[in-house]
Structure 1
Amino acid sequence: MGREGMRAGDSDRQRVADQLKTALDEGRLDLNEYDERVQRAYSARTYADLDGLLDDLPGTVPPRQSQVQPHAPAAHPAAAPVGRDARGHGGRHTFQSALTAFLICTVIWAVTSFTAGHAYYFWPAWVLIPVIITGVGALTERGRRDR
Structure 2
Amino acid sequence: MDVELRASDDDRNRVVAELHRHTAAGRLTLDEFSDRAGAVWTARTLGDLAALTRDLPVLPDPAKDGDDSVGHGRRELLMLFAAAALTLLLLGVFLAVTR
Length-normalised TM-score, structure 2: 0.58
Aligned to 1:47: 46
Length, aligned pairs only: 63
Question: Structure 1 residue 21 and structure 2 residue 31: aligned?
Answer: no
**C-alpha displacement at 1:62, in angstroms?**
7.3
Aligned to 1:4: 3
Superposition RMSD in Å:
2.0
Question: Structure 1 residue 33 and structure 2 residue 32: aligned?
Answer: yes
* Runs of 4+ with deviation above 2 angstroms: 61-64
Equivalences for 1:77-92 in 2 at 5 Å? none
Higher share of residues assigned helix: 2
**C-alpha displacement at 1:54, in angstroms?**
0.6
Aligned to 1:127: none
Task: For residues 81-113 of structure 1, give each alpha carbon's deviation from its aligned partner in whole angstroms, at most 9, with x where no partner exists.
Answer: xxxxxxxxxxxxxxxxxxxxxxxxxxxxxxxxx
* Cα distance between partner residues in 2 of 1:53 and 1:18: 12
**C-alpha displacement at 1:9, in angstroms?**
0.2
Identical aligned pairs, as a percentage?
38
Equivalences for 1:1-147 in 2 at 5 Å? 3-61=2-60
**C-alpha displacement at 1:61, in angstroms?**
4.7
Q: Structure 1 stretches of 5 or more lacking a match?
A: 65-147
* Cα distance between partner residues in 2 of 1:54 and 1:31: 15
* Cα distance between partner residues in 2 of 1:47 and 1:22: 19
Tell which structure's C-alpha radius of gyration is larger: 1
**Matched position secondary structure for 2:56:** coil
Between the two structures, name the one with larger relative contact order (CA 8 Å, sep ≥ 6): 2
